[in-house]
A and B are shown apart, each in its own frame.
Chain A
Amino acid sequence: MDIAIKDGKIVERVDELRARKIYASGMIVMPGGVDIHCHIAGSEVNTGRLLRPEDHFRDFERKTPKTRSGVGYSVPSTFTTGYRYARMGYTTIMNPSMPPLEAKHTHEELNDTPMVDKGTYPLLGDWWFVLEYLKKGEIEECARYVAWMITSTKGYAIKIVNPGGLEAWGSGGNVGSIDDQVPYFGITPREIVRGLCKVNKLLNLPHTIHVHTNNLGKPGNYLTALDTMKCVEDLASEDKPAIHITHCQFSAFKGSDWRTLKSGAEEIARYVNNHSHVTLDMGQVIFTDTTTMTADGPFQYTLHELSGNKWVNHDVETETSSGIVPFRYRRKSYVHAIQWSIGLELALLIKDPWKIFMTTDHPNAGPFIFYPRIMAWLMSRKAREAVLNRINRRARNRSLLPSIDRELGFYEIAIVTRAGQAKALGLKNKGHLGVGADADVAIYNVNPETIDPSRKYKTVRKAFRQAAYTVKGGETVAKNGEILKHVKGTTMWLDVQVSEPIKITEEMKRRFREYWTVEYENYPVTEKYLEVSHPITVKANV
């Protein structure tokens, strides 16, 4: 079977005599990889880079005539990030947490992240405007402001992190359950999640709300995760997802403390298998030294207290917070080994691959360069056993993995690493190779007809580590690990069109000045900040 490409798109056919050909027989051809959740740009990522010279001084990439130099490991510099994704055959990545006030920063970095198309999600779950309008029950007004915000920050989806908890963290507090009151605002996380879920629907956004749950990283939090999923159950329609629970591994802890920690994957998988309004991504732990960074300020502080490692906190006025802590996941640590197991259990116990996607919440549970390893674990029981034999014994005894026989095939891998992610994101031209799709193609040098991934997982892993060819927008940009061409990639953002946009009155500007320390005029990200702007028009129902 041939795939024809013309002008950056996949087409029915091309003139075979004139076309440049890639002979891929005996190889796997997939759409370019799609990453729904990886921290690669913006204020917290960059502070992570700044914080950790010791993380990257050994892992560097020299300048070549075609590529820029940079450093790597857990928080690579921007160019290196792009190259390393391209080498693995990834062509679309989503940066999941952007403080709106610092959106220009995120976009400036995305401009310098080559080889991939990208988008970014503004953090809206603790924005004062949202809290106030939801408290007043003015969903439509809230939706108008959210529309303004997404368009003004050139964002792609609504990101919610520890709803309510971040506002509380602004004064050093947190919330403990989805029904806790947020101090001063008199609203609960449940109301925030439900409210923004409704807003999301009113605005017709391509992706669902993208939620990092309350109580993340705390024993017993699988109940919070379940509560969060349940709280929008009635808002779902026609089998369409209404909520995405991100890096679910971190929200699937059972037990009352670290000593009694157990996996809550079974319960979460059972719920997800019985409902159709949820998608998840894994947040798979890799045993390595990495850098954790989330908008969840209180969680990061806890992590600092647990590890004793250096800690960065950065709260953003009226909007959000963030924290950074270097962290090492150790095989011999009971807790870390359980975490490793939970991620895989989720991916294997959830039956429908269109509901759970492969991520490491880069770099939180591990750097993205380890994706091929996860693919091998998903495809091979033997690969999992090889690790199981070397982890903490008590964790091994408690792991559900030995009881799971499921091994994903190449087709399912294609779903959890691109097709499913593209579908969940509402990216119609990504994640498939049908006519009309963007010509983003990854070719891996492994023959599915002769290689049994269950036994030969190392071969498969090697093939996924370095695509034989990565085609981006119709151009071969990487071949066997070598970057052939530095291409820019687009920045996708939503131009949300509401029938009655909010009016920027003097009163509004005054309120703006009261809430933030910048002028209204200087807040939005103008389109000139995006080197290759790709607006996606969305018609809202409000």
Chain B
Amino acid sequence: MAVVKAVTCPVCGCLCDDIELTIRNGKIVKVKNGCAMCESKFLSHKNEHRILKPLIRKNGEFVEVSLEEATRKAAEILTKANYPILYGWSSTSCEATRVGLELAEEIGGVIDNTAVVCHGPSILSIQDVGISSCTLGQIRHRADLVVYWGSNPWSAHPRHIERYTAFSEGRFQKSAWKGYLTKVKASAAKKKIESALRRVLFRKKAFVSPKPRKGPPPTLFKEGRKLIVVDVRKTRSAEISDCFLQVEPNKDYELLQALRALINEQEIDVDEVAGIPVEYLEEIADLMIGCNFGVLFFGVGLSMSKGKLRNVDAALSLVRDLNMRTKFVIMPMRGHFNVTGVDTVFTWQTGYPYAVDFSLGYPRYNPGETSVVDILLRGESDAALIVASDPVASFPKKVAEQLVKNPLIVIDPHMSATTRMADVVFPSAFVGIEASGTAYRMDHVPLPLKKVVNPPNGVLPDEEILKRILVEVKKLKEKRLVEAA
């Protein structure tokens, strides 16, 4: 039995690196420090529907083949294609992505990562306005105002609040954990009373909860760290916050712009924006200006709702404007554990973070034109390689249909919806569990991914599989050149 310390968790963009794993007989038997998502990933990776042998579809059926045969088949598909796409990447290592980029260049394909369906719009806005940001430790040490906008860390990034923000203990800022405990106790008591009342009154309409408060709650003016949540519905994160702003669906842009005007001390003609009275917003604006160090985290609730990139544009501009008055930073809540790393590798090799088109022999970038979802929507691609992603399950139906219409190669540890539709399948090792590598946290801090157990026999890491395909592609191209000559 062995205990491995300081393991990086390959689940979400938080990339917690304090996980302790107990390993017995080549199996992970205990996970310490991790959240529920982390535990389930480490404990169940072996039990999922693993594929153990490369597969090729022959006459409509999967047939187990040798790695060499699968590699040759994949290389043939990719070299023949006129406009192949290479998609996924956010759940694999930077090292694998590096090889993927060379492969994309070699075959003149379009390479794109999952940013295109989550924070791609955020990147476009960063390219328009820039971004005032920092690493997460800076927030832990200094932030006295934490805002989550359109993101629900309690569920999607479970340790974010305790490790990096409101409940973490920093050098210049103390944890707001205690206040939260009091609050939870109070709310638990309130719930008990409510349910008791309901029981007594036989669920009649006797208990009317008070109308939503139209002004800021008193907790907003407490000492110490404050937590504000802005969302279209009351999430778990909203429940623990000091102040919850409920924005009308698809009105984030208006709300953000109104806040910008207010912090620039402009008068607003209307009385209410996005369902919130302007006087209330003035209080919020004052609070933002008055803090010593504020931070705004935003999720796909902002980048994928109506207005998309322009919502983020407004949020970035708001934070930029706030820096005239105080210190303020902003950060997207990245989902997949290495989506930040993949953007980073794309950028250093090609100059662009996602949606890179090599069809003319050099990198071109224009999301909307060179992004995989749009390419599929227009039916332009004629082959695809998917790495560590399940687009058939996550893309809109029409897009997914287009994907499976053409030759499809999948590199994945398990039998996903996409794998099931593939023509060539390479089983791969779980990076961060069965293979090592590097991943970047949502704040661009690179962290090592550890190999803690061996992959199933004969199963290779993504990086190795891609390298083999690349070698085969080069061989094929050379052969064709010789034949042509």
Contact = CB atoms under 8 A, between A and B. Distances in A.
A and B touch in the complex (CB under 8 A): yes
A101 interface: yes
Q: How big is chain A's contact interface, by range?
A: 35 or more
Interface in A23-66: 41, 43, 46-47, 49-54, 56-57, 60-63
Q: Interface majority SS on A: helix, strand, loop or mixed? A: mixed
Contacts of B347: 46, 49-50, 77
B130 A324 contact: yes
B202 interface: no
Contact of A63 (B327, B344, B361): B361
A282 to B, nearest CB: 27
Contact of A315 (B138, B171, B358): B138
Of listed B8, B320, B349, B351, residue having the most chain A CB within 10 A = B351
Contact of B130 (A101, A312, A514): A312
Contacts of B352: 49-50, 53, 71
Contacts of B235: none
A324 B132 CA distance: 10
Contact of A50 (B128, B134, B320, B353): B353
B14 to A, nearest CB: 10
Interface in B1-44: 5-6, 8, 17-18
B110 interface: no
B394 interface: no
Nearest to B108: A63
A265 B306 CA distance: 55
Contacts of A56: 351
Q: How big is chain B's contact interface, by range?
A: 35 or more
Interface string B125-159: 01111111111111011100000000000000000
Interface string B355-383: 00010111111000000000000000000
A70 B349 contact: yes
Given A312-B130, A314-B134, A317-B140, A519 B351 contact: no
A172 B322 CA distance: 11
A310 B326 CA distance: 18
A518 B329 contact: no
A116 to B, nearest CB: 15
Contacts of B130: 51, 304, 310-312, 324-325
A370 interface: no
Contact of A170 (B123, B128, B142): B142
Given A43-B444, A324-B130, A49 B351 contact: yes
B163 interface: yes
A505 interface: no
30 contacts: A49-B352, A50-B347, A53-B351, A68-B349, A70-B363, A71-B350, A71-B352, A71-B362, A76-B351, A77-B349, A77-B351, A79-B349, A104-B438, A104-B448, A108-B348, A108-B446, A112-B98, A170-B134, A171-B327, A172-B293, A310-B127, A311-B130, A312-B133, A315-B133, A315-B138, A316-B135, A317-B134, A318-B141, A521-B5, A522-B17
Interface of A: 41, 43, 46-47, 49-54, 56-57, 60-63, 68-71, 75-79, 101-102, 104-105, 108-109, 112, 170-172, 184, 301, 304-305, 310-318, 321, 324-325, 513-522, 526
Given A77-B351, A316-B134, 17 more contacts: A49-B348, A52-B127, A70-B362, A77-B350, A77-B363, A78-B348, A104-B438, A108-B345, A112-B349, A171-B172, A310-B130, A312-B126, A312-B130, A312-B132, A315-B133, A318-B141, A522-B17
Interface of B: 5-6, 8, 17-18, 94, 98, 102, 105-106, 123, 126-138, 140-142, 163-164, 171-172, 292-293, 320, 323-324, 326-327, 329, 343-345, 347-353, 358, 360-365, 438, 440, 444-448
